[in-house]
Amino acid sequence: MKLKDKIAIVTGASSGIGRQIALELAKEGAKIAVIDLTKEGGDKTLSQIKEQGGGGIALAADVSQAKALKDAISKVIREYGKIDILVNSAGIFDGPETFLTTDEETFDKIIGVNLRGVFLGTKYVLENMIQHHSGVIINIASVAGLRGGLASPSYTASKHGIIGLTKDTAAVYGADGIRAIALCPGMIQTAMTQDLLAEPSAQTQAIIGSIPLKRVGQPEEIGKLVAFLVSDQAPYITGTTIVIDGGMII
């Protein structure tokens, strides 16, 4: 097992990519703190982890709310004494909007969850990681963090921002033994893309048609990549973005 005795926090782990990351890290022996909006959602993931023979805790916190997230992370430190891995996966998507159709409140909400959530999560785990001179932070960005025109302006800006936060974390805290990596998934089959994939518009069909592997990705594929990146098998990878998109943005 690659992650025996490791403690991992995964945000947004009640669903989709976050849940599969939590399950893959648990399979490799990590204890998982599942953080999501509701404890009920987190408990479902935790039951699946326990069915696999793993363990952890489920905590409710809105990642855009500083106090709630700080309290949840403090509880994890009280319970386990350390944090080895943080995966910032919680995120929201506002659909294929444009500047003209995006209102100010929606822009603030998307930035609040997707970007501020990553800032806060990173901020609150760093002190503990610095103390034990080791840690890995994986931020789930998107191919929309590398290109314009693939999503709404709010989502695109939030995901570009996540890549900036990742680079800054890696640059400033590398000397403290901390690695940070941004993942850029393409189109992955989850609740977030359910509507787009259920009745694909001409634009969605064109996107899938343009993917060299001619299919969308599965959350398990992201989970397995994260399990590798946070392990001792990837000790020299930091500050970079890794695209996992079936070739979508070649």
Q: Does 15 bind ligand NAP (CB under 6 A)?
A: yes
Q: Which residue is associated with the tokens 């990173």?
A: 122
Largest CA distance in the chain: 51
**Interface mask (CB under 6 A) for ligand NAP, residues 185-214, using x and -?**
x-xx-xxxx---------------------
What is the length of the chain? Answer: 250
**Annotated catalytic, 155?**
yes
Burial of 148 (0-12, 13-18, 19+ CB in 10 A): exposed
112-141 residues in contact with ligand NAP (CB under 6 A) are 113, 140
Q: Does 12 bind ligand NAP (CB under 6 A)?
A: yes
Nearest to ligand NAP of 66, 130 (CB atom): 66
Nearest to ligand NAP of 122, 175 (CB atom): 122
The minimum distance between CB 161 and ligand NAP, in angstroms, equals 12
Q: Which of 24, 36, 84, 94 binds ligand NAP (CB under 6 A)?
A: 36
Rounded to an integer, what distance in angstroms lies between the CA atom of residue 128 and that of residue 103?
38
Q: Does 62 bind ligand NAP (CB under 6 A)?
A: yes
Q: Does 16 bind ligand NAP (CB under 6 A)?
A: yes
The closest of 174, 80, 196 to 130, measured between CA atoms, is 174
Q: Which residue is associated with the tokens 């648990």?
A: 26
Q: Does 161 bind ligand NAP (CB under 6 A)?
A: no
Other CB atoms within a 10 A radius of the CB of residue 103 amount to 11
Q: Residues with catalytic annotation? A: 155
